[in-house]
Amino acid sequence: MSMQNPVFIPGPTNIPEEIRKACDVPTLDHRSPRFAQMFKPALAGVRRVLNMEAGEVIILPATGTGGWEAAITNTLSPGDRILAPRYGMFSHRWIDMCQRHRLDVQVLDVPWGQGAPLAKIEAALRRDGDHSIQAVLVTHNETATGVRSDIAAVRRALDAAAHPALLFVDGVSSIGSMPFDMTGWGVDIAVAGSQKGFMLPAGLAILGVSPKALAAMERAKLPRTFFDFKDMLAAYAAGGYPYTPAVGLISGLARSVEMLEEEGLEAVYARHHRLAEATRQAVAAWNMRPCAVNRDLYSDTVTAVVVPEGCDGTELVRLAASKYGVAFGVGLGELAGKVFRIGHLGMLTDVMLLSGLATAEMCMADLGWKIRLGSGVAAAQEYLRQTQSERLATAA
């Protein structure tokens, strides 16, 4: 009997069969024209997903964490000053990486559950009269808390302060699932990973790099070898890589972009919003709440559910895995035990989501939490039925 239940973690996500097959390619010479024929559509497709008009797409054999490191090492120098708000585990980890690289990090601490502090960012930039801050680092979708920050508003803060700092955005759990406008938002480096909205196995760090960031590369003195953009771009000119690429994943990425565009990016984003809202309807029916402090911050890819006093979210996650073979996300950092996380991104349907919500309810009942079986599922069902009817009527 198959135990292939869908996962409800915010990455890696469920892999469509078409993408699994696209990754299954025979060995080929990665310096051959055949590889270039595979690679160029993947680059062009990522550019469209990012809404990127100028600059370069860099695809590295790594994960999102490797993408973070590539972003800073290719554009900054030891001792450079950067500005970074910390409002969750992943913004914290990027800050930690910068500190390990001997960068001077000005940290803006924000309670977890809130988003990027726009007023604080603008105030810090206005105080920086000599423009010593070289870059602002922001996490678009904080996977630990289920908080989506307004990147367009961060760009407005930079512009209002007339500050020339680069804007780096971690879009690992948003790109490919929620609207991302690299050009319109004035993002200088966007970082994504293959294992989230692109629905691939982990193994690719995907970056959009603006002309301004490429120019900064000429001044940067942080060491890099494997992640060197100059080496990558020189090899791109010949249609390949400076070292051995992840050929199967690149083949899968080309098919992933095709699938996203066949569905239509706006339809992809609308589907994610429906599934996220259905999840939030279920959470409300459980008499619980998302970690995000208000609706404007709600993520459309992951909901961190605050568990009742005296309950342990980690216990629920462990029970779901051991008893029902279903994966949810644990609380991270200061949220450990206080939340459990429901990922609702990538390859996911109404029916798949309902199975995850039902499993969460069974675990709550098994653990003796105050829950009425079916309450959250029914709330999500009602929302999905209504919005599916509306969607079909609009399509007709």
pLDDT, tens only, 116-137: 999 999 999 999 999 999 999 9
pLDDT at 1 > cutoff 90: no
Output helix, strand, coil percentages for the chain, rounded to the nearest 5. Answer: 45, 15, 40
Residue type, 261: E
**pLDDT score of 109:** 97
Residues 6+ apart with CB under 8 A from 359: 320, 324, 326
Closest CA to 52 of 192, 233, 202: 192
**Residue ranges matching CATH 3.40.640.10 in the chain:** 17-261
Residue 313 CB burial class (10 angstroms; 0-12, 13-18, ≥19): buried
3-state secondary structure of 367: coil
Average pLDDT, the chain: 95
Task: Kindly report, residue by residue over 320-359, the tens digit of the pLDDT.
Answer: 999 999 999 999 999 999 999 999 999 999 999 999 999 9
Q: pTM here?
A: 0.95
**CATH superfamily name and code, 264-395:** Aspartate Aminotransferase, domain 1 (3.90.1150.10)
* Top-level class of domain 17-261: alpha beta
Task: Kindly report, residue by residue over 259-274, the tens digit of the pLDDT.
Answer: 999 999 999 999 999 9
User: What is the 3 state secondary structure string of 296-358?
Assistant: HHECCCEEEEECCCCCCHHHHHHHHHHHHCCCEEECCHHHCCCEEEEECCCCCCHHHHHHHHH
37, 192 Cβ separation under 8 angstroms: no
- Cα–Cα distance measured from residue 213 to residue 166, given in angstroms and rounded to the nearest whole number: 7
* Residue 342 Cα distances to 191, 305, 332, 351, 371, angstroms: 22, 8, 13, 15, 17
**Residue ranges matching CATH 3.90.1150.10 in the chain:** 264-395
- Cα–Cα distance measured from residue 296 to residue 317, given in angstroms and rounded to the nearest whole number: 27
